[in-house]
Amino acid sequence: MLNYRIADGESLEYLNICPLEEISSGERLFFEIHDQPIVLINIAGMLYAIGDVCTHDNGPLGDGEIEEKSIICPRHGARFDLETGRAVRLPAIQDIPAYPVRVVDRVVQIGVPKK
């Protein structure tokens, strides 16, 4: 299961990522947690965090074009749902991780599986 947005809260730990002011609408922030590349994306005030690796050929995904609530891989055009991580267009057939995002005291936090 890669959609951690629906995971049991007990299985996740929330980590501070950045002050909310550092990720305004239209911006993306790239970082790693437990060696996993992740991109945080702000679309008109909605925050999404997904794995930054395309499952088609392991290319970087986070700079891809956004259409509605999906991201398009810049390499070969696979498309992933930002809310669920689901691969919704070939050539990718495997989902990517999607992480829950919350804001606590104006700090953006991401929920990742506990180690």
What is the binding site for ligand FES (CB under 6 A)? 54, 56-57, 59, 73, 75-78, 91-92
Best CA proximity match to 48, nearest among 75, 17, 13, 8: 17
Q: How many helices (H) and strands (E) does the chain have?
A: 0, 11
Q: 47 or 92: whose CB is closer to ligand FES? A: 92
Report how far residue 2's alpha carbon sits from residue 46's, in angstroms, rounded to the nearest whole number.
Answer: 20
Q: 40 or 54: whose CB is closer to ligand FES? A: 54
Q: 64 or 111: whose CB is closer to ligand FES? A: 64
- Least distance to ligand FES, CB of residue 10, Å: 33
**Residue 35 has which token pair?**
């060696």
